[in-house]
Every structure is written in C-alpha cells, then in structure tokens.
Amino acid sequence: MTENTVALRPGSTIGILGGGQLGRMLALAGAKLGFKSHIFCPDENSPAFDVTPFKTVAAYEDEDALRAFAAQVDVITYEFENVPAATAELLASLKPLRPGANALAISQDRLAEKSFLASKNIPVAPYRAVHSLEDLERAIGELGLPAVLKTTRLGYDGKGQRVLREPADAEAAFAELQPHPLVLEAFVPFEKEISVVVARGADGQVRAFDAAENVHRHHILHTSTVPASIPPGVDKHAAMLAKVIVVALDYVGVLGVEFFAIGGEKPSLLVNEIAPRVHNSGHWTEAVCLTDQFEQHMRAVAGWPLGDPRRYADVVMQNLIGDEIDIVPSGIDGNTQPHLYGKAEARPGRKMGHVNRIVRAE
Amino acid sequence: MTENTVALRPGSTIGILGGGQLGRMLALAGAKLGFKSHIFCPDENSPAFDVTPFKTVAAYEDEDALRAFAAQVDVITYEFENVPAATAELLASLKPLRPGANALAISQDRLAEKSFLASKNIPVAPYRAVHSLEDLERAIGELGLPAVLKTTRLGYDGKGQRVLREPADAEAAFAELQPHPLVLEAFVPFEKEISVVVARGADGQVRAFDAAENVHRHHILHTSTVPASIPPGVDKHAAMLAKVIVVALDYVGVLGVEFFAIGGEKPSLLVNEIAPRVHNSGHWTEAVCLTDQFEQHMRAVAGWPLGDPRRYADVVMQNLIGDEIDIVPSGIDGNTQPHLYGKAEARPGRKMGHVNRIVRAE
C-alpha cells in the first residue's frame, strides 16, 4: 500500500517547487536535517533563495528547466497545491514526488476534493456542481439559501467566491465567476474554524498535531490558537478524520485540513478544505513542538521516521500582514518567537511574517 | 554602562566570522528573524555558506576583504574566539562588533581569562604563569602535583596541554609545549563538568539557560544532559556566576561558561573556561526552549529583546563525531531531534551533527 522507499542520506538534495515563505521554512528545516534544498520558482526575488545553495528561476511549464531540476535532486516536494498537472506528472516520472500527483489533482479542484472526501465518508457541507445558470437555480432549490458559489479551481483567501442570499443574486454571481467551472456549497452556520496538520511517513506512520482554532481577517488567516476552545473529544475526532484522509490518499508528507466546527448539543465537524502541504495554521508548531510541521514534512519526504507532534505549551500564532511587521522588534518580548520571511517590500495584504506567543502557566 | 544601540530592522545583514557549524546555526536562526547573514570564512567549503545569501572567502588577516565585508553588513559577530586581535580591532572600528573585542582578548588567553575572573571574585583553580622551566618548578612547589600545564592560547579539545604527575615530568612537558607562553593549573579533582549558556542583551538584560552536565570522550564533548545531576542551589549559583561574568564584560550576545563542580559536603564551583560565543553544550536549547541559544545570540546582537530561556522538558544532547553520523536516520525516533551540519566528509574526530533526545514523562 505504501510506496517502497529508501531513506535519503544526509547531504541529499530535496527539490522544492515554490520559493515563498513556506518553501523558505521547508528549506530551513531541511538544512537542520543536513539536506540541501533546490528551490524552483519563477520569481527571481523569492525569499527562499536566501537560505539554499541551489535555485532555478523558470516557469513551472518550462519542461527543459524541470528536467534539469529533477536531474539535480533526490526527491521533489512543493509548497503550494496549484502545481500544474503536467508539471507534476513530468516530475513524478523523473524522481519521487511527495506528496504524490493524486493529492495535487484532488486538492486543486473543489469538486474533486468534495467528492473524494464524501466517498470516504468524511463529512462535508452539501454541494452541487454548477455548469450553467440552470444548474445553479436547481442547486439553490435543493440546498436552499444562503449558499456560497465558488470556482472549483484557484480560489484562495476569499477570491473566486460569492455569497448568495436570495434567488435574485444567482444570475449576477454566475456571470461574475464564469467561465470557470463552479460549485455551490450550502452555507454552514459554523461556530469556529479549526484545522489539523497531519503527517504521514513513507513507512505509513501517521501523526497529527493538535487542532488549532483559526480566526480570519479580510479573508486572510489572522490567528491560530492552540488549544482550540472546542468540546472534549472534538479535537480527537478532527485528528481521526485527518488521519483517514492521508491514509486514503496514500499520502507522504504534511497535509492541512480545515474544518468547520458546528455547535449545538451534539457538536459536529465538516471538512472545509484540504491543502497538500505545510499550512499557515500549523506555524505554531515551531514554538512548542520538538518536531515542527516543516521538519515533519521534510522527515516524511526524506523517508525518515516522523517526530513526536506533542505540544509543550499553549500558544497563539499571529500572522504579520503588510505593515504589521512593524511591531518587530519593539513588540517582541521574551514569550514571543518571531518568524519573518525576508520579503523586501511590505505590500498591503502580503504575509511578511508571523509571531508565536506562548501562554505560560505562571 | 551599556553601549547605546539601535535595534536592527528586519532585512538587515549580520556579518558572521567563521563558517563552521556554529556559524551555520547562527545564520539559520538569523534567517528566522528576517536577517540576511554574510559569512566570512577562509574555507571555501564552509557548511554555513549553504544557508546564506552572502559570503566572503578570504583570510582573517586580509584587510581589504575585511573592509569590504564590514561595508556590506550592519553588525558583526563571530562563531569562534580565536579571531586575531588586529582583525577584531579593525572590524570594531568600522561596524558594531558584538560581543566586543575585550571579550575576545580575554578568552583567547588562559592567563588573561583567569586573572580577569579572579579579579571579579569568580572562583578558578589555583594557577601560575609559566615563562621558564624555573617558573614551572616554582609553580609545582606552590600548587603541588598533579597539575596541568597548558599553553595560554589556542588550546582546544585537549590540545596544547600536558598532565604533570611527578616533578620529573616537568622538563619534558615544558619542552613539548614551548615556545608558547604557558600556565600551570592545579589539578582539580572535580566530580562533574557543568556549563551554563548565558545571554546579555544590548539593553543590559541578562538571561541564563539551565545548567547542562557534560561528558567528554577523547577530549571532545560527547553528551550534555539537562537537568544536570547537581545538588539543589548549585545550578542557581552557576547561573549567578555566569551573569556576573557577562555584566563585568559589558557583554552583548551569548557566552558559554564551563565549570568544575566539586563534590563533598559543601559542593563548590570553579570556572574552567569561558567562550564568547554560542557553545556546543547549549545545543540542547534547540529542542526544548522557545528561544534557543542561536536565536538568543542573534536577538542580542541585533539589539532585540532576549527570549525566555525556560526549558519545557528534560533532554540529552549527543554529538555525532565522525562516522557516528551513520546513526541517522535509522537511529532517529519520534523523541529525537537531529541536527546535521551538511559537512561532506565524515573524518574521524570531526563534529558532523548532534541529536537532542527528549526525556518524556509518560
């Protein structure tokens, strides 16, 4: 069931697609394990380039560059789920690609993701595929309103979606999001968003970090708080669902699972989405776990045993967006671990860094 | 009392003299804080070069290279105490050098170090300066035997010293260690070696990590165990002495202090030596402290507030010397944090990496 794998030796080279902060943090973790990283990214100002010996600046569709990259690395991973399918297939034919191309294909498409999850009895919000305005009107009739119309691909941070509150909203929303394939999702009156970062090793071992409670601002993650304030047992249930997902995908690496936690007498969880990579809501692990999500991913990708995900302390991760980076260093105290991404320009909405603040029991 | 300092902004460049594993770990910590590191090292195969955007390959005596290096960085630090005095003075005249040249001058010379410590009422083993065979014979008469004859400069890992067991050993030992200035130290029948890594910020704030108990093999550090098995109060006393030292030096950065812990009814401590840098016996902090010694040093050097040195768990650090690196990855389990230095060749006696093993209370 699990691919037959040989553990990488220290000194091996790990190829990483994507040179943003996640690629940078993966490369830093890889360096601690004695690996060299080779970053492949079209942007010549990628922050990850500052911490690695090898880089390729080329488009993700540049077949010659991809082949040369693959020839120079021992295994390939990525920091983002929107790796073009042809790129993933080419690379996977040349070197081990971890996580595999199937995880990319599923997580790139909301509809494929939801039908995959539903097929594994993972609860998701009711949804309908929408190819036409007629489809949309029928779906509204079946799911009711409010509901959320989303593009099936390339949506993130609130982009590519419209909330429908009454039937008259349908036509304008459909027109705006066309010509992309769409999905209508029933509106979930959720109480909290929580997430679990889970890892599966090449040997099939599965380990989940504790659930984080996430708060967004302007559709961008603002804070992740651990432990999440959820009823007893809900965290274990979330971890169990996350584990089912990585086993079903025959996955190798770290995967983020976002849940809606629905309150009431019998609290329940719906999976909102999965991300086949290290996840912003797992940055807290750097501060309070022996093995953080970045090292965990690199251990998995290298075919090494996973680390223990247990948590030493309570923690709040806060993203520093745009000029929020200016709280550093004056807003840093002894209980704060800053992590900045080395980006030159603090544009509005840009993730510049994060801070992990420990909650000490005095 | 403390130099007037402006905190470095993220994106600033920190110059590091020395490109070995300590420089590499400093650069990794600096990257997390959003700094770029510029490594200056004569060895073009320095492991630190793999994780930094800027490097200079030149001799430490190359004045032109030093000037060019200083012009490109905002502050300068180092990974080793044997920076030539002229180099330190030149650099300090061009950019802030942290820790300062006085800490280098004192720690480079055993005699200067001991007389500095004694002048601050820090207990050290009885010692005598030795410039001639007559000096040595007089010193033996005063201190008794056994005793240890050491070069005052450039000794490390057991090099540059001879144990004298009887008066007849004096002449041969003196001849072997000549023409260097020497010091005779009374033999201390110590029970344990412990060490404390202490930090002082540019604002004068002082924080010490917990004391580690060190075991050497073949004169190279083998393990550091935390907590040290020492009587109650001895750890606090060690931390207090370490703090006195950094205050007396008007020090900025991390400093390692090695102690002999002498048993008996009233246990006591002698300072064996100090190192004005991050210290091998502080590598355990990576596994169990919010801020490890490398981040702590970079925070201090950057004029940022220090992090909290408190420890989450019990831990044993073990160095991987030469082919001991072959325990990775098969000897790694979930409670083990490996840290490998990216050195190509595992020569005997070469520090290739270390592992931090957590002792979990189950």
ipTM score for this prediction = 0.95
Q: Over the stretch A302-324, which tens digit does the pLDDT of each residue have? A: 999 999 999 999 999 999 999 99
Domain co-membership, B166 together with B97: no
Asked whether residue B185 is marked as a ligand-binding residue, the answer is yes
Identify whether B227 is preceded by a cis peptide bond (ω within 30 of 0). Answer: yes
Of B34, B35, B39, B33, nearest to B16 by C-alpha is B39
Domain membership of residue A148 as a residue range: 126-186
Answer yes or no: is B7 within a domain.
Answer: no
Domain co-membership, A229 together with A330: yes
Report how far residue B73's alpha carbon sits from residue B37's, in angstroms, rounded to the nearest whole number.
Answer: 8
CB pairs below 8 Å between A and B: how many? 140
Across residues B316-336, what is the average pLDDT? 96
- The residues that bridge with A186 in the sheet, in sequence order, are A147
**CATH for A176:** 3.30.1490.20
How far is the CA of A352 from the CAs of A57, A80, A340, B54, B218, in angstroms?
Answer: 22, 17, 6, 22, 47
Looking at the structure of chain B, the number of domains it has is 3
Domain co-membership, A163 together with A288: no
Report helix, strand or coil for A133: helix
Across residues B103-113, what is the average pLDDT? 95
**CATH for A18:** 3.40.50.20
- Out of A117-126, A182-191, B85-94, which region has the weakest mean confidence (pLDDT)? A182-191
Domain co-membership, B197 together with B148: no
Q: What is the pLDDT of residue A179?
A: 83
Domain co-membership, B99 together with B142: no
Contacts of B294 (CB under 8 A, 6+ apart): B25, B26, B28, B29, B278, B286
Q: What is the pLDDT of residue A1?
A: 36
User: Which positions in chain A touch B312 (Cβ < 8 Å)?
Assistant: 288, 312-313
Q: Over the stretch B83-96, which tens digit does the pLDDT of each residue have? A: 999 999 999 999 99
Domain co-membership, B178 together with B217: no
Contacts of A156 (CB under 8 A, 6+ apart): none
Alpha-helix residue ranges (DSSP H) falling in chain B? 21-32, 63-71, 85-94, 101-107, 110-119, 133-143, 169-177, 234-248, 285-288, 293-301
Torsion of CA A271, A273, A277, A278, to 10 degrees: -70
Domain co-membership, B209 together with B178: no
B1 confidence band (pLDDT: 50, 70, 90):
very low
Type of residue at A234: V
Q: Over the stretch A198-209, which tens digit does the pLDDT of each residue have? A: 999 999 999 999
Type of residue at B174: F
Alpha-helix residue ranges (DSSP H) falling in chain A? 21-32, 63-72, 85-94, 101-107, 110-119, 133-143, 169-177, 234-248, 285-288, 293-301
Q: What is the pLDDT of residue A156?
A: 59
**CATH for B214:** 3.30.470.20
Q: For residue B280, is pLDDT > 60?
A: yes
Report how far residue B182's alpha carbon sits from residue B155's, in angstroms, rounded to the nearest whole number.
Answer: 11
Domain co-membership, B233 together with B327: yes
Domain co-membership, B325 together with B340: yes
Q: Do B353 and A328 touch (CB under 8 A)?
A: no
Q: Do A288 and B312 touch (CB under 8 A)?
A: yes
Report how far residue B63's alpha carbon sits from residue B90's, in angstroms, rounded to the nearest whole number.
Answer: 8
Report whether A37 contacts A54 (CB < 8 A).
yes
Instruction: Return mean pLDDT, chain A.
Output: 94
Answer yes or no: is B1 within a domain.
Answer: no
Q: What is the pLDDT of residue B362?
A: 56
Asked whether residue B61 is marked as a ligand-binding residue, the answer is no
Mutate to test the interface with A, among B51, B75, B356 (most CBs of A within 10 A): B51
User: Which positions in chain B touch A303 (Cβ < 8 Å)?
Assistant: 329
- A296 near B CB under 8 A: no
Report how far residue A182's alpha carbon sits from residue A130's, in angstroms, rounded to the nearest whole number.
Answer: 5
Domain co-membership, A175 together with A212: no
Domain co-membership, B198 together with B230: yes
Domain co-membership, A20 together with A158: no
Report how far residue A213's alpha carbon sits from residue B252's, in angstroms, rounded to the nearest whole number.
Answer: 39
Report whether B182 contacts B170 (CB < 8 A).
no
Instruction: List b or e across A122-139, with b for residues whose CB sees 16 or more CB atoms inside 10 angstroms.
Output: bebbbbbebeeeeebeeb
Among the partner-chain residues A313, A337, A340, the one whose CB lies closest to the CB of B10 is A340
Across residues A7-31, what is the average pLDDT? 97
B3 confidence band (pLDDT: 50, 70, 90):
very low
Report how far residue B218's alpha carbon sits from residue B61's, in angstroms, rounded to the nearest whole number.
Answer: 32
Asked whether residue A100 is marked as a ligand-binding residue, the answer is no
Q: What is the pLDDT of residue A188?
A: 87
B326 confidence band (pLDDT: 50, 70, 90):
very high
- Out of A146-160, B199-213, B277-291, which region has the weakest mean confidence (pLDDT)? A146-160
Q: Which of residues 80-99 of B touch A (CB under 8 A)?
A: none
Type of residue at A148: V
Question: Searching chain B, which residue's CA lies closest to the CA of residue A38?
Answer: B50
Q: Do B334 and A305 touch (CB under 8 A)?
A: yes
